[in-house]
Amino acid sequence: MLIVMKAQATEGEVRAVCQKIESLGFRAHSIPGAQRTAIGITGNQGEVDTGLFDEMAGVQEVIRVSKPYKLVSRDVKPDNTVIRFPGYSATIGGPGLAIMAGPCAIENREQAFAIAERVARAGAQFVRGGAYKPRTSPYSFQGLGEDGLKIMAEVRDRFGLLVVTEAVDYESLDLVDQYADMIQIGARNMQNFSLLKRAGRARKPVLLKRGISATLEEFLMAAEYIMSEGNYNVVLCERGVRTFVDHTRNTLDLSVIPAVQRLSHLPIIADPSHGTGKRDKVTPLARAAVAVGADGLIVEVHNDPDRALSDGMQSLFPDQFDALMVQVRQIAAVLGRTISVGNDEVVAEKQVRR
């Protein structure tokens, strides 16, 4: 159930409704929007009597939500969610596109710095790179763990890039929450419900990748798990699903982007690297993703892809990433969207300090 407050409802009136919900043993989620605040109720097993709230001060309407997902739904918040990062200019879900780029895995300090320098110069606002790698084979490189996170934190300080990196279990999630700016939940963990709940109790925004066979509803329900625990800063990521085709590693399902945008207020970005698995297809699909309205891109870039410890085949050379940025900037402009160059203020501040 959803309680829509009047546009002029006071903070006290919102609080009183939340207290009433909690006194019934349920959880209240107060979600402020551009026009009004809505309060979602979760934790109820059966129906809640709408009459309990109808007459309360400041309440405009009590709505029964028939969809299985509630907090991710546009019913709760008609306007788009914009994720912000304190101290940085980058946003996700606003008119500016969020560009995340970097290696599949952090391999060592030199590699991470060399790649970050290039992606920062090309205009990315986020650096990606796994310190914990979910690999198909237990014998493949598993990531540097906490040492990798430390390298990423150094990269942030040096280049003013926000850090997005994957957590694979409770332990790594605690560390990623500590070192990074955004917690990535990988495709293989999209239905790891206890991990999703733990991410819902973390302080940092979450980048949730679509599972390799997840339907739209399953994808949104995974985001609902995170939000139901109180973390409302969730960004969805289309990274390709498994189909019968053999010309790509996965099929990047670009139609899910407008489908998500119709149902949910959450931002959605695209990953053309895992979505194709082939270097020559990354830039065309990045262009297409921006054209269909993605709120950003996450792209694998490596300075020496032939020797990369993971996903070299789909990693762009830095020069190719430069070209991608030039192209997607032009496509973004057609849609009235922009791509800022890096995190302006922070970089400027760093230059002054140096």
Binding site for ligand PEP (CB under 6 A): 104, 130, 134, 186-188, 209, 239, 274
Coil/strand/helix, residue 336: coil
CA distance 298 to 310: 16
Are 163 and 126 a contacting pair, CB within 8 Å? yes
Query: 255 exposed, middle or buried (CB, 10 Å; 0-12, 13-18, 19+)?
Result: exposed
> Smaller CB distance to ligand PEP: residue 165 or 264?
165
CA distance 20 to 2: 13
CA distance 354 to 331: 35
Q: Which does 187 bind (CB under 5 to 8 A by kind): ligand PEP, Mn ion, none?
A: ligand PEP
Both tokens assigned to 317: 């050379």
Q: Which does 198 bind (CB under 5 to 8 A by kind): ligand PEP, Mn ion, none?
A: none
Helix axes 109-122, 318-334, angle to 10 degrees: 30
> Smaller CB distance to Mn ion: residue 264 or 315?
315
Closest separation in Å from C-beta 315 to Mn ion:
8
Closest separation in Å from C-beta 308 to ligand PEP:
11
> Smaller CB distance to Mn ion: residue 129 or 342?
129
> Smaller CB distance to Mn ion: residue 103 or 160?
103
Both tokens assigned to 259: 């489908």
Please name which of 1, 74, 48 lies closest in space to residue 266, comparing C-alpha atoms: 74
Binding mask 301-320 for Mn ion (x = CB under 5 A): ----------x---------
Q: Which residues pair with 191 in a beta bridge?
A: none
In this chain, which of 41, 83, 92, 104 binds Mn ion, going by CB under 5 A? 104
Q: Which does 209 bind (CB under 5 to 8 A by kind): Mn ion, ligand PEP, none?
A: ligand PEP
Closest separation in Å from C-beta 125 to Mn ion:
20
Closest separation in Å from C-beta 133 to ligand PEP:
7
> Smaller CB distance to ligand PEP: residue 89 or 283?
283
What phi and psi, each to the nearest 5 degrees, are found at residue 92? -130, 125
Are 211 and 218 a contacting pair, CB within 8 Å? yes
Determine the residue with CB nearest ligand PEP.
186
> Smaller CB distance to ligand PEP: residue 123 or 129?
129
> Smaller CB distance to Mn ion: residue 33 or 103?
103
Please name which of 119, 182, 130, 126 lies closest in space to residue 296, comparing C-alpha atoms: 126
Number of residues counted as binding Mn ion (CB under 5 A): 2
Placement of tokens 């830095």 in the chain: 318
Please name which of 116, 149, 117, 156 lies closest in space to residue 131, comparing C-alpha atoms: 149
Closest separation in Å from C-beta 155 to ligand PEP:
16
Closest separation in Å from C-beta 94 to ligand PEP:
23
Binding footprint of Mn ion on the chain (CB under 5 A): 104, 311
